[in-house]
């Protein structure tokens, strides 16, 4: 028999953990780079860009600079997603749903 009160408590605990994890992700920063460090993008794990650094030697060719910017942003996004995945898995790990219970999220 499913104890609804316990299930509700677990869901509330998970909600609180997720909220705290999201707050934490907003404070953690990652750096995406491209061109061996010619372009650097610093962002939070919620993918808010904080700053962009461009080495002056990358300013010679507009097309190459645009490609480096795209690559640096994508690199930063991938790093942010990796950290986010681990953090959110830790936040939701404690929830124990009864087998076969289909709860929409």
Domain region containing 85: 4-92
Treating both helix axes as pointing N-terminal to C-terminal, what angle do 4-25 and 62-92 enclose, rounded to 10 degrees?
150
Among 9, 38, 24, 27, smallest CA distance to 91 is for 24
Angstrom distance (rounded) from CA 51 to CA 77: 14
pLDDT (tens digit, 9 = 90+) per residue, 59-77? 999 999 999 999 999 999 9
Asked whether residue 56 is domain-assigned, the answer is yes
Asked whether residue 104 is domain-assigned, the answer is no
Angstrom distance (rounded) from CA 64 to CA 62: 6
Sequence-distant (6+) residues with CB within 8 A of 19 are none
**Domain containing residue 17: CATH number:** 3.30.1310.10
pLDDT in tens, the chain (105 residues): 678 888 888 888 888 888 999 999 999 999 999 999 999 999 999 999 999 999 999 999 999 999 999 999 999 999 999 999 888 888 877 454 445 544 433
Among 38, 36, 47, smallest CA distance to 65 is for 38
Q: How many domains does the chain have?
A: 1
Q: CB 65: neighbour CB atoms within 10 A?
A: 18
Asked whether residue 97 is domain-assigned, the answer is no
Q: What is the pTM of this model?
A: 0.76
């Amino acid at each position: 028999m499913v104890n609804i009160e316990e299930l509700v408590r677990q869901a509330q605990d998970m909600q609180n953990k997720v909220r705290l994890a999201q707050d934490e992700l907003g404070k953690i920063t990652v750096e995406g780079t491209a061109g061996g460090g010619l372009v650097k993008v610093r962002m939070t794990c919620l993918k808010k860009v904080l700053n962009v650094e461009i080495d002056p030697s990358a300013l010679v060719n507009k097309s190459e600079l645009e490609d480096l910017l795209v690559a640096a942003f994508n690199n930063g996004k991938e790093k942010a997603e990796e950290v986010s995945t681990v953090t959110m898995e830790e936040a939701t790990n404690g929830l124990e749903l009864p087998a076969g219970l289909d709860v929409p999220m």
